């Protein structure tokens, strides 16, 4: 009964039961899938962040949390070979930057006013565009550069302005360096220059940039969320590695001499495309001097030189840019030219080495004023030596037909073998900026005409450096050396010195052939077209060259050149001078050989090269008077005495430190040995005046003796006894003046 009573309390429901406290099984499954997908997406995203964007985000976080202060290394100096002349150095300057986010005030209006004041002050002090500076001041960047390489006077003005306006944060003055060239135009086309970032752009500054530049250092410190440095935070200091110093093979004194005479000659000749000159030590390949005219100021490299300035403003922007790049070129290595008859030395050396001929074979060649090659008539430069010639006479007279005949005997295959041996088919390896490849006709395409013209140095193109390197191989007993421009590299941090040793490339000729070639070159100077290259007291060998423009480009003018060696037997110096775009008739022997003579006249005594010629008839041997102004009296006396001149120095100062400001006679004249040169300093001392004596009917030696006793010089024309003189008897002239004297045989003289 009890059981039934309890069951009566149970209520049965006819509908299904649902409750808000439970999730339906199907819904629960969907939610599980969604959650799993979200987790998978999160895992993929985390993986992407970790493995794909990880490095970038890490760097970004690092940059937001750290301050990197770059420590600029000091760029290495460049010295001349003596180590006493700094040709390029880095001087301290400053760079001004701002932190725009630090220009803040309590209100927006005050902040705007502050930023405008900063922009106005900076633009006024540094002569900048106000709107451009204001844009930088309003920038959201952490750092903006206002001006680089600022001189100290501007920085002092900025500091005073900041103090006056109570601006203590936001403007940074950071130490920097600026490349400086103490001698302005000196060695400009070879040395090159640096840009605003202290990176070498052209020249040695560019090719040796990695050596000179060094490695930057840095200071790493922490910063907070407000981008300001956290005080007392740990810093990481990585020191800069300063650039190394470079010592060149260029000798300051020799380079100065070369630039002086090259400039004088170009000013006088006015060649359309200027000139180049190289002086080399053949034994080592060291380049002692390398000059291009016109040059430019390294401290103002974007300013056109005097030659370019006349037309610069009329050029378009692109033309101006191209003109500046052309102005910067080192034409000794970058420009190709046809070497002309200087190249005959190569052809002759091949013939001698191969045993095809010897120097003095009679009737070896025949010149009829031209050579008929295929359908072309190729002329000799003159008809003055027509007839039979030996190799010696062919070189002395620079006979084109003789060399064409010789080239035909040698043949293309053999010539090209030696061209290759001389290094004429490749760059010299000098590591000079912008060196060009040569341009030769492909060997398989060389025909009779090409063979003929190449034999005397035309219709082939090489650089002046390739030409002098090949001639230096002849001067160096047949051994080809790689040209050198850097002598040593000095690590400025450790003091370690790395010396660059001379490099032997190969043996091109036997010593006996080289000796014969040098003797033939001496004949060219003593008896041939190169006689104007003679230097008193020294044996000189060489070869003249005059190449004509190709057909259709006659307006480019001729190339006149001379390559000389001295002394002949034990050659210490090889010099090559080229003028581009001279007029017809200005042969290398006339315009280039005298310039080489002037250079060697100063260079050989400076190098203490002993004289190797004993003069026996000094009165007939003339020497070009060098320009010794701007040298010390001691240096000037040494050069002049080495050339056989007597010297009178008019100065009361120390000869070792006092500079010669003037000389009488003026440089460039030809004088006999024992002539008297008067030197003056810049103190305007009174000059001695003398009376010209009566030289009538005196012999040359008597007239010279009389004039020398009065510190006067003589220029003799003719033989016999004096029949006229200029200036005339009783004229008042300055000591050192040249008296021009005409002589005739006694039988023709009337009283």
SS3 sequence of 251-318: CHHHHHHHHHHHHHHHHHHCCCCCEEEEEECCCCCEEEEEEEECCCCHHHCCCCCHHHHHHHCCCCHH
Q: How many CB atoms lie within 10 A of CB 329?
A: 17
pLDDT at 61: 61
> How many Å is the Cα radius of gyration of the chain?
39
Instruction: List, by residue range, all CATH 3.90.1310.10 domains of the chain.
Output: 69-248
Residue-wise DSSP of 645-684: -EEEEE-SS-TTTPBP-EEESPTT-EEETT-EEEEE-SS-
Domain 69-248 grouped into CATH 3.40.50.300: no
pLDDT at 198: 84
How far is it, in rounded angstroms, from Cα 340 to Cα 318?
34
Instruction: Quote the distance between the C-alpha of residue 714 and its chain's center.
Output: 41
How far is it, in rounded angstroms, from Cα 415 to Cα 423?
12
How far is it, in rounded angstroms, from Cα 481 to Cα 490?
24
**What backbone torsions phi and psi does residue 323 show, to the nearest 5 degrees?**
-65, -40
Domain 340-606 grouped into CATH 3.30.420.10: no
Positive or negative, the CA dihedral 184, 187, 192, 197 is negative
Note whether 690 and 715 are within 8 A (CB): no
Instruction: List, by residue range, all CATH 3.30.10.20 domains of the chain.
Output: 622-748
pLDDT at 728: 81
pLDDT at 70: 64
pLDDT at 312: 94
Instruction: List, by residue range, all CATH 3.40.710.10 domains of the chain.
Output: 340-606
Instruction: State both tokens at 444.
Output: 């398989």
Give every CB contact of residue 515 below 8 A, 6+ residues apart in sequence: 477
Q: How many CB atoms lie within 10 A of CB 565?
A: 30
Please write the tens of the pLDDT for every residue from 585-602.
899 999 999 999 999 999
Helix (H, G, I), strand (E, B) or coil at 387: strand
Note whether 418 and 374 are within 8 A (CB): no
Q: Under CATH, what is the fold of the domain 622-748?
A: Trypsin Inhibitor V; Chain A (3.30.10)
**pLDDT average per 10 residues of sequence, the chain (751 residues):** 50 54 69 85 80 69 57 88 95 86 87 90 91 89 85 87 88 85 97 91 96 78 51 63 95 96 93 97 98 97 94 94 96 97 98 97 96 93 91 96 97 98 97 96 96 96 98 98 98 94 98 97 92 88 94 88 97 98 92 93 94 58 87 93 91 91 91 90 86 82 85 84 79 91 53 31
Closest CA to 595 of 635, 620, 624: 624
pTM of the model: 0.73
pLDDT at 15: 55
pLDDT at 148: 82
> Half-sphere exposure of 290 toward its Cβ, with a 13 Å CA cutoff?
34
């Amino acid at each position: 009964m009890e059981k039934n009573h309890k069951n009566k309390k149970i209520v049965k429901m006819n509908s299904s039961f649902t409750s808000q406290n439970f999730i339906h099984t199907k819904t629960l499954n969907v939610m599980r899938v969604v959650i799993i997908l979200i987790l998978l997406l999160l895992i993929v995203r985390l993986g992407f962040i970790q493995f794909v964007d990880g490095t970038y985000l890490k760097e970004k976080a690092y940059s937001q949390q750290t301050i990197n202060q770059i420590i600029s290394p000091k760029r290495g100096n460049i010295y001349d070979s003596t180590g006493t002349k700094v040709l390029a150095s880095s001087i301290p300057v400053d760079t001004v930057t701002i932190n725009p986010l630090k220009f803040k005030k309590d209100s927006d209006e005050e902040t705007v006013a502050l930023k405008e004041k900063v922009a106005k002050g900076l633009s006024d002090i540094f002569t900048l565009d106000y709107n451009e500076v204001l844009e930088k001041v309003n920038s959201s960047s952490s750092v903006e550069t206002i001006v680089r390489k600022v001189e100290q006077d501007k920085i002092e003005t900025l500091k005073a302005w900041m103090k006056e306006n109570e601006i203590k944060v936001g403007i940074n003055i950071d130490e920097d360096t600026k490349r400086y060239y103490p001698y302005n135009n000196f060695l400009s086309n070879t040395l090159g220059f640096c840009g605003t970032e202290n990176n070498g752009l052209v020249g040695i500054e560019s090719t040796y940039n990695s050596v000179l530049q060094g490695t930057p250092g840095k200071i790493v410190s922490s910063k907070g969320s407000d981008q300001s440095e956290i005080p007392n935070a740990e810093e990481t200091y990585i020191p800069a590695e300063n650039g190394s110093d470079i010592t060149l093979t260029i000798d300051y004194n020799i380079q100065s001499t070369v630039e002086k005479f090259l400039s004088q000659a170009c000013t006088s000749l006015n060649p359309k495309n200027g000139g180049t000159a190289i002086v080399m030590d053949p034994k080592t390949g060291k380049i002692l001097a390398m000059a291009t005219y016109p040059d430019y100021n390294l401290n103002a490299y974007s300013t056109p030189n005097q030659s370019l300035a006349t037309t610069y403003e009329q050029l378009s922007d692109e033309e101006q840019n191209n003109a500046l790049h052309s102005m910067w070129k080192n034409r000794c290595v970058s420009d190709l030219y046809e070497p002309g008859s200087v190249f005959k030395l190569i052809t002759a050396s091949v013939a001698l080495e191969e045993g095809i001929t010897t120097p003095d074979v009679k009737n070896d060649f025949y010149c009829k004023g031209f050579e008929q090659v295929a359908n072309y008539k190729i002329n000799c430069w003159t008809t003055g030596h027509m007839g039979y010639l030996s190799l010696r006479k062919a070189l002395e007279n620079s006979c084109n037909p003789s060399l064409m005949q010789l080239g035909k005997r040698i043949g293309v295959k053999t010539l090209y073998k030696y061209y290759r041996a001389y290094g004429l088919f490749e760059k010299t390896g000098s590591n000079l900026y912008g060196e060009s490849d040569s341009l030769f006709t492909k060997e398989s395409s060389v025909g009779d005409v090409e063979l003929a013209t190449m034999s005397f140095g035309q219709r082939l193109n090489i650089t002046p450096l390739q030409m002098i390197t090949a001639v230096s191989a002849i001067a160096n007993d047949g051994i080809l050396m790689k040209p050198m421009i850097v002598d040593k590299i000095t690590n400025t941090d450790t003091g370690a010195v790395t010396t660059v040793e001379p490099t032997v490339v190969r043996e091109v000729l036997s010593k006996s052939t080289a000796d014969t070639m040098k003797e033939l070159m001496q004949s060219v100077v003593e008896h041939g077209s190169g006689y104007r290259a003679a230097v008193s007291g020294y044996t000189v060998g060489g070869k003249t060259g005059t190449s004509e423009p190709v057909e259709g480009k006659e307006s480019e003018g001729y190339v006149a050149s001379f390559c000389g060696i001295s002394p002949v037997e034990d050659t210490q110096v090889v010099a090559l001078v080229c003028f581009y775009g001279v007029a017809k008739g200005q042969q290398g022997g006339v315009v280039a050989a005298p310039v080489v003579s002037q250079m060697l006249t100063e260079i050989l005594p400076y190098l203490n090269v002993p004289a190797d010629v004993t003069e026996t008839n000094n009165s007939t041997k003339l020497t070009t008077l060098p320009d010794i102004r701007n040298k010390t009296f001691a240096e000037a006396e040494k050069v002049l005495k080495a050339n056989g001149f007597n010297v009178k120095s008019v100065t009361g100062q120390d000869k070792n430190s006092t500079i010669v400001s003037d000389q009488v006679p003026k440089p460039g004249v030809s004088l006999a040995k024992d002539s008297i040169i008067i030197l003056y300093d810049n103190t305007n001392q009174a000059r001695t005046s003398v009376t010209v004596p009566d030289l009538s009917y005196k012999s040359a030696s008597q007239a010279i003796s009389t004039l020398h006793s009065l510190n006067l010089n003589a220029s003799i024309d003719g033989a016999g006894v004096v029949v006229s003189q200029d200036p005339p008897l009783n004229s008042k002239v300055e000591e050192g003046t040249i008296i021009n004297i005409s002589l005739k045989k006694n039988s023709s003289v009337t009283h």
